[in-house]
Amino acid sequence: MRVPVVTARTRYLMIDQGGAQLALPWSAVLRVLMAPADEIERAARAHDAPLLLPLVPLSGSAAERPLVLLASGLLRGLFAVDRLIWRLTAEPHATREPGPAGLERAVRTQEGDVYWVVEPARLLAPLPLPPLIDVATERERIEDSIMARVFLTRMLDARGFETVGAAGAADGQRELARGGWALVCADVELPDVRGGEWLRTLAGRVTGETPVVALVRDRHDRDLAAAAGISRMLRKPFDESELIGLLAQLPGRAGSDG
């Protein structure tokens, strides 16, 4: 099976907010969901993510609004929009005029449509940093896991997988309940659970032909994964050739040159 791989362009989630065409870097998008217009704040509390101020006032009234869960570093928040356009690749577009809300960088799709790039760090900058255990090695480990997830998502996207990120065990439980996954990748350390607890939960819940891959960094992580009954592992930092070899062993992927 051949899967087109786009290398010259960057992938964005294109949105409409108050009539402005905006582009959110796909690497910062954890999840997209819909919520009744009068329950947006409740959705923000349910995902433990503050509601971000819109760059352009939302237009009119709608029964439902799309919400984009964004992350930058250790921060995350929900961004309400009027309309989801599509996930598209685009290239830089030179322009002399500033965009809406003072945006300066624009991109153009293959179809010629121009969108203004929204930097997630700008939206999330006003938020306070979440509390962390005040140990340097713990902080580095959490940041390492976030960056690893971003790189792994990019590599899987390039090989034809539709990926969904889970910021913690609670998000992961909700996503697992949806079912129909071709692959489940699990980090040993998550912000809301430690050690092998999450891996043991996965090993007990994910059944059938859905393979589970543990994302490990050292021998301690490998031991935790093995104790949980997970034999497939991917070492951080991720090596592309190692990922390709692992994917080739998955059910239904034999002979794929994806």
Q: Are residues 97 and 189 in the same domain?
A: no
Q: Are residues 160 and 223 in the same domain?
A: yes
Q: Are residues 140 and 112 in the same domain?
A: no
Q: Does position 155 have pLDDT exceeding 60, yes or no?
A: yes
Helix H or strand E encompassing 103: none
Q: Does position 171 have pLDDT exceeding 50, yes or no?
A: yes
Q: Are residues 19 and 70 in the same domain?
A: yes
Quick check: is 38 in a domain?
yes
Q: Does position 219 have pLDDT exceeding 60, yes or no?
A: yes
Q: Are residues 155 and 228 in the same domain?
A: yes
**DSSP letter for each residue of 177-224:** HH---S-EEEES-BTTB-TTHHHHHHHHH--TT--EEEEE-SHHHHHH
Quick check: is 2 in a domain?
no
Choose the final residue of a domain: 124, 147, 162: 124
**Tens digits of residue pLDDT in 120-139:** 988 998 887 655 433 333 33
Q: Does position 145 have pLDDT exceeding 70, yes or no?
A: no
- What's the Cα-to-Cα distance from 189 to each of 23, 25, 55, 73, 199, rounded to whole Å? 31, 25, 34, 16, 9
Quick check: is 213 in a domain?
yes
Quick check: is 5 in a domain?
no
Choose the final residue of a domain: 71, 100, 124: 124
Question: CATH number for the domain including 199?
Answer: 3.40.50.2300
Contacts of 256 (CB under 8 A, 6+ apart): 1, 247, 248
**Tens digits of residue pLDDT in 179-208:** 777 778 888 766 666 657 778 877 776 656
Quick check: is 4 in a domain?
no
**Tens digits of residue pLDDT in 40-97:** 888 888 888 899 999 999 987 778 899 999 988 778 899 999 999 988 899 999 988 8
Phi then psi dihedrals of residue 120, to 5 deg: -55, -35
Domain that holds residue 116: 10-124
Given pLDDT bands bounded at 50, 70 and 90, which one contains residue 22? very high
What's the number of domains the chain is made of?
Answer: 2
Q: Are residues 106 and 173 in the same domain?
A: no
Q: What integer pLDDT is reported at residue 129 of this predicted model? A: 64
**Tens digits of residue pLDDT in 99-112:** 999 999 999 999 99
Question: What is the rounded CA–CA span in Å between residue 247 and residue 255?
Answer: 10
Quick check: is 258 in a domain?
no
Q: Are residues 117 and 144 in the same domain?
A: no
Question: Percent of the chain scored above 70 by pLDDT?
Answer: 78
